[in-house]
Structure 1
Amino acid sequence: MRSFACPHCSSLVYFENSVCLNCHSEISYSRRARSLVLTSTGRACANVVTATCNWLVTGDNALCDCCALTRTRPADEDTEGMRAFALTEQAKRRLLFQIDDLGLPLADRTADPAGGLAFDLLSSAREQVITGHDSGIVTLDLAEGDSGHREQMRVQLAEPYRTLLGHLRHETGHWYWEVLVDRPGNTAGFRELFGDESASYAEALKRHYSAEPTGWEDTHVSAYATMHPWEDWAETFAHYLHIRDTSQTAAAFGIAVHGPALESEPEQSEKDFDALIETWLPLTAALNAVNRSMGYEDLYPFVLAPRVLDKLRYVHDLVIAKPEYVPAG
C-alpha cells in the first residue's frame, strides 16, 4: 500500500481514513483517481455506515465498485455478523486496491455472469458456512472477523498466519488460477511446478487431514499448500500479494533495510523478481526483530525455499504480463 496525503492540507492520511485528523476535511477514496480525494468532489458509497466504506461511487451506482462485488451479506439485525462484515469489507477494499495497482484483470458477475468475481460474506452464527471458492464466487465465514475465533483456528490448525486479508487473497487466488492459468491455456507450465490439478480434490482433502504433512518446507510455502495443486497455487498467489503489498508500504514510508541479501538499490523495476526478493528478505528479518522487541512472535513466520521462490516467480511472471481478461466458457 502506498502512502496518501490529505487533498486539502497535505498531511499524512491512511487508506482507511474518511476524515483528515489535521484539518478535519471529509475524504474518500476515488478508484478512478486511485487516490484519496475530498468527498465533496463525488458521491459517497451507500455502505458508508453499514460497511464503514470510504469509497466514492462511479456513475449512478448506489454502491462503490468494491461493495458491489459482494453478492450476499448478513441481515441488518445480525449485529455480530454485521460487525464482522464491516471488517471484511475493509480488508476487501485493500485487496481491490492491490488488484488495480498490479493491473490484474477483473470482471464482476455483470460483466461475466458465468465466471466473474463475487463475494458471499456469510455469518455462521445460525448456519454452517464453509469458506471457499467456486467459479468466481468467494464464500467467507464472517466468524473470521472475530479475532478470538481466528486465533483459536490458527492454533488448532497449526497455521503460522491467519488474517481476513489473507483469507481474501487466498480465495481470490483460486479465481485468478482460472483467469491467469486455466482460461488462457497456461496449464502446462503450471503443472511443471505445482502438479496436476486434475487429481481428485476430495481425495486430496481427505488425505491431507488424515495425517499431518511433514517435510513440506523445502517445496511449499505452507503445510496447507501441500494438499492439492490448486491450494498450492492459492497459497503461493496470496503470499505473492503479501510480499508486493508489504514491500510497497515499506518503500512508501522510506524503509530500506540493508542486509547480506541486499546488494542493489531498494527501488527496482516491478519486472525484476530477483531484486524484489533481495529487498524483501532483509526487510522480513528487520520486521521480525522489531516484533520480538515488542514481545510478539515473528511478523513473518515463513522461510522461502528455492522451490517456493520458483513458484513465486511463476506467479510474478503471469502478473506482470498484464494479461487481458478471458471470460469463462
Structure 2
Amino acid sequence: MYLNTRARASSFIYQQAREFKGVWLIPDNICHAVYVDICMAGSTIELMDVDLESLELDTNKVSDYLKHNQVAGIVLVRAFGSLKVNYESFFAFIKDHYPEVYIIDDRCLCFPQFTAPKDTLADMILYSTGYSKVVDLGYGGYCFSKSRLETISMDFLESDEEKFDSFFKESIDTGVPISEQSFKIICDSLWLNHAQVNTSKYFDELKEKLDLVKLHKTRLNEIYGTINQEMIISPEFNDWRFNIVVGNRSEVLKKIFEQGLFASHHYYPLGLFFSTQYKSVWNTLREGILNLFNDLRVTEEGAIRTVNIINEYGRPFKYDK
C-alpha cells in the first residue's frame, strides 16, 4: 500500500469521493467533516444506523442496502478508536459481490500505526493527528491506500476553517437543522486544507509524542476505571477518550463544569443536523454517552475529581432495546 500524508485527513476522503462519485454510505455517529467532504466532492450520502453491540456501522443494514442500490463507497468508522471488531469478512463480502465499491477503514480515533495492516481488503486505512485526536499534533493526517493518490492543489483559508464548525455548533445548541442555504455556504467555503506535509518530519514528531500519550492515557484510565462499573461502556472504548454512559448526563456535566473540569458529548447524530424528525439507534444511545478526556491537557488530580463527581451524582443509563 502507498503511504500518503497531508495537513488534514479529511482531504483523503474528499479526494476519493470525487474520484468515485455516487452514493456513499457512512454511519450516523461520524464527524460532520466527513459528511461535508463527500458532498463537496459531488457525491451523495446515505446515512446508516449503528449496531447496538459495536456502536459502529451496522453491517447487516449496509448489506441489505447494497442488494437494491448502487453504491460508490463506504466509510467504516472505528467509532471509539477500538479495533476489537475484525471487519475483513465484511470487506470480503463487499469485494466479492460489489467489487466497484471503494472502502475506507477510518481509524482517525485509533492509536496511530506505522505500517499498513497485512492482507486488508479495505482500499484505504485512514489516520488523523488533528485537534483532539488520540495523538494531537494540532494538524495532519495520513493514509495507506491501494492506489497512488495525486496531490490536490486547491485554495485554503484559515478563516474559513475557523468558521467551519460554527454552523454545526449552532445547530446543536439551538436544535434547529442547518438550512440548505447554510449548507451550500459550508460546501463552497475553503475550509479544507489539502497541503502536503514533510513526511519524515511529521512521523518523527508523531513517534516522539506517541509514547508520552500512551503512558498518560494509561494513568488516567486507571483512575477512570474506578467509576461505577455500571456506567462504563467497555474497556475497548477508552483509548481515544474514556467513555461512559449515564442516565442523567446533563446533571453530571453541570457538576463537572461547576468544578472547572471538562467532559463532552459524543458525535451528534448527523441526521439531526438536517431534520428534527430524524430517528436512529444512535439518536437514542448518544443521549447518555460522556467522553472523559484522557489527553495531556488533563491532570491526574483532575481525573480523580471527575470520578468523584460521577460516582456521587451519576445514574446508570437504561435503554430499552
**Smaller-chain TM-score bracket:** under 0.3
TM-score (norm 2): 0.23
More strand by percentage: 2
Higher relative contact order (CA 8 A, sep 6+): 2
